[in-house]
Amino acid sequence: MPDNIEKIVQSCFHPKEGRPNLHKVPVNIEYVQQHMDKAHSNLRAMKLMFDNDHFDWTVICGYYAMYHAVLASLFKIGIRATAHYCAIAAFKEFYVKRGKVNQEYVEYIKRAKQLEQEYADALDKAQENRIIEQYGVEIVTNDDAEWIIEDAKDFVLKIEEVIA
């Protein structure tokens, strides 16, 4: 019997209604590199935001650095994702379950999204509410954002290592 991640991945490839959010595509090394470049750009933006006391945007940039690394990893195996929850489910299925990366790297993504969840009530439940912080008004502190600096860097570097 398939586990929950397999079910999510299957429903992302073959939804009962609407368009699929995961698509099989030819492996595209150019897209892999473009997403890794974007991941690194978000790491730099994350550091700038943190250094300028914009802790909400520190978390957002850190999350997007990790997310673009996930997209790169999927293009590396011929999958294009158009929804965050599907991209992360596919990453778990094709990288974590198959032993290419440790579960801790998925925990980094979850942690980024959980912090965002703490500060607002609603928005796009794309894999545990990733964009709430952008529209919320609650204050994110240095302590709330500090952890993501290392987690996001570690995550992006690990993905680069795996897809190299």
Q: Which pLDDT tens digit goes with each residue over 49-96?
A: 999 998 888 888 888 998 999 999 999 999 999 998 899 889 888 888
pLDDT at 114: 60
Residues 97-124, buried b or exposed e (16+ Cβ, 10 A)? Answer: eeebbeeebbebbebbbebbbebbeebe
45 touches 61 (CB < 8 A)? yes
Q: How far is CA 101 from the centre of its chain?
A: 14
Q: What DSSP line would sit under 3-56, residue for residue?
A: -HHHHHHHHHHS-SSS--SEEE----HHHHHHHHHHHHHHHHHHHHHHHTT-HH
103, two tokens? 């579960």
pLDDT at 148: 82
Whether the predicted pLDDT of 111 surpasses 80: no
How far is it, in rounded angstroms, from Cα 86 to Cα 10? 9
In order of their start, the domains of the chain are: 4-163 (1.20.120.330)
